A and B are shown apart, each in its own frame.
Chain A
């Protein structure tokens, strides 16, 4: 095994991976360092910690109504996630448990919709929301995302592994269908829900284009929009932008480190 070619291959492996790891992690490091530096230093590429951390933080907190913005972001992501999981998992469960030819066709049609880009839906959705007088409301952000084809598909796939005997037993005990779903199915599928929560929360938290279109006043904006807005000034204060970027990344980063295994499981849900 220790012939020179193999050793060379092994060395190349480490070099490749180290380089990739460095490039992957560097922007995070840059963001943290940047938060401690002044705008001019960041643009000059100063890669050592500076003294402007407190100043950047205070500028950020005075220019942004942080409690309000955080509330917006967490409300949209949180409520959106709960509703999406509830509605989409119910549908996924239904599609798998009550199969019929018509439902199979509907399901196939839904999968086709996965390939329709958001750009094609954006304008009709906007007109719809305008007609409902929902522009600049939380409902406008949350409603279109609740019925997620991807999550329905995900739940249908995992429901295949749900033991049917459990459902039969519950039926004999006299439980109604909705009771089975809430008292039997949901507890059994706990870890599926956990994985799906991560995916949906992240997608909602990071959503940019749709809130950009629908949310119009400052007090409705999400953290994502605020951070994007900070850079649209003619001369952005980069130190402040970095503080904003840290706040925008932190929730998903924390979720990732707390639930690393679940997280990866969730990502893989689609190909199972």
Chain B
């Protein structure tokens, strides 16, 4: 099976090489200073700190909201006596099949100053005057968070739904006969049984959100005044929009790698700890 070994080399080699290269560029630009200049620059770069805080803010707010929603929807849809189950499921899953670019531009038009969202909110009387969605630092973040939540909630829901269907029905029957109320059945049976899947979706969503690029770039270009700038967007700007500074950009990109590693380890530890 020499073909297989060749293939293995053909696939792993470019990945390893690119990894090695990014280390090289990271240090290469500052070789005379032992490679620490980039890291020094990192700690004194206000734009980087903005991008880092923004990315972590998105992560801390968006991922829990999305996963809780997905869990709630999945639980509601798991009820076999629910009318129109497959319709609801299809509808909620539908956002996952759109292209990121297409939905981003559609969202941008919906959140215009006189746009449909403001009109609807004013129509039901939630707000009195239009919200400057994309021009205000706070609301721009809200739009980005809503957009990602819209796109990915159904995706996570499908994982939960599949896992829920594998839970033995008789456990629920027994709990019901014992008079355990619905919310307690959800909290004490469903959630613990889904722990591996919840871990999986948390890790996937964390990685995804840390790499967030398409939506901020298309919805707000990172603005207003860097309020929605993410790490990936900053790397892109550093490499391709401003004066190319590949070395520094590579250093920023390794911040994402380190963050992903740390958060993934924490998530695994938390999951393990709870099981024990």
Check B106–A253 contact: CB distance below 8 A.
no
A252 to chain B, nearest CB (A): 5
Are B21 and A13 in contact (CB-based, < 8 A)? Answer: no
Give the residue of A21, A178, A206, A231 whose beta carbon is less than 8 angstroms from that of B105: A231
A50 interface hit (Cβ, 8 Å): no
Taking the closest CB of chain B, its distance from the CB of A48, in whole angstroms, is: 11
A78 an interface residue at 8 Å Cβ cutoff?
no
A103, A116, A120, A230: residue with the most chain B Cβ atoms closer than 10 Å: A120
Chain B residues with CB under 8 A of A119:
211, 213, 231-232, 235-236, 252-253, 256
Query: Is B129 an interface residue, CB under 8 A from the partner?
Result: no
Closest beta carbon of chain B to A80's beta carbon, Å:
15
Given the known interface contacts A90-B7, A249-B98, the answer about A127 and B246 at a Cβ–Cβ threshold of 8 Å is yes
- A62-70, A164-172, A186-194, A263-271: which one contacts chain B? A263-271
For residue A75, CB closer than 8 A to chain B, the reply is: no
Interface bin, chain A: 35 or more
The closest CB in chain A to the CB of B4 belongs to A94
Contact B200 A125 (CB under 8 A): no
Known contacts A21-B92, A121-B22, A208-B100, A238 near B109 by CB under 8 Å:
yes
Residue A42 lies at the interface, judged by CB distance under 8 Å to chain B: yes
A30 CA / B110 CA spacing, docked (Å): 8
Selected from A34, A117, A123, A177, the residue in CB contact (under 8 A) with B260 is A117
Judge whether B11 and A271 touch: CB under 8 Å. no
Q: A185 CA to B232 CA in the complex, in Å?
A: 40
- The answer to whether A124 touches B22, judged by C-beta atoms less than 8 angstroms apart, is yes
A51 to B158, CA, bound (A): 39
| Nearest CB in chain B to that of A238: its residue | B109
The answer to whether B1 and A17 have CB atoms under 8 Å apart is no
Judge whether B14 is part of the interface by a CB distance below 8 angstroms. Answer: yes
B27 at the interface (CB under 8 A from A): no
B136 contacts partner chain A, Cβ-Cβ < 8 Å: no
The verdict on A245 contacting chain B, using a C-beta distance below 8 Å, is: yes
Question: With an 8 A cutoff between CB atoms, is B40 at the interface?
Answer: no
Contact between A110 and B207 (Cβ–Cβ < 8 Å)?
A: no
Is B182 within 8 A of A121, CB to CB?
no
B171 interface contact, C-beta 8 A: no
Q: Are B21 and A127 in contact (CB under 8 A)?
A: yes
CB-CB < 8 A to B43: which residues of A? none
Q: Which of B3, B107, B150, B213 contacts A178 (CB 8 A)?
A: B3
Question: What's the Cα separation between A21 and B153 when bound, in Å?
Answer: 11
User: Closest residue of chain A to B81, judged by CB?
Assistant: A10
List chain A positions with a Cβ less than 8 A from chain B. Answer: 6, 9, 13, 16-18, 20-21, 23-25, 27-28, 30-31, 34, 42-45, 47, 87-88, 90-91, 94, 98, 103, 106, 109-110, 113, 115-128, 144, 146-147, 152, 177-178, 202, 205-206, 208-209, 213, 224-225, 227-228, 230-231, 238, 241-242, 244-246, 248-249, 252-253, 255-256, 260, 263-264, 267-268, 270-271
Q: List 19 other contacts, CB 8 Å, given A24-B150, A116-B260.
A: A21-B91, A24-B91, A24-B94, A31-B102, A31-B106, A45-B110, A91-B8, A94-B4, A120-B250, A120-B254, A120-B256, A123-B249, A124-B17, A128-B14, A245-B102, A252-B99, A253-B97, A270-B200, A271-B197
List of 6 A-B pairs having minimum Cβ-Cβ separation, nearest first: A147-B11, A21-B91, A124-B21, A45-B116, A245-B102, A120-B253
- A-B pairs with beta carbons under 8 Å apart, 26 shown: A16-B72, A17-B76, A24-B94, A27-B95, A30-B109, A31-B102, A45-B116, A45-B120, A113-B15, A116-B260, A118-B211, A118-B232, A119-B232, A121-B18, A123-B246, A123-B250, A124-B25, A125-B18, A126-B239, A147-B14, A205-B99, A209-B236, A252-B97, A252-B98, A256-B94, A268-B159
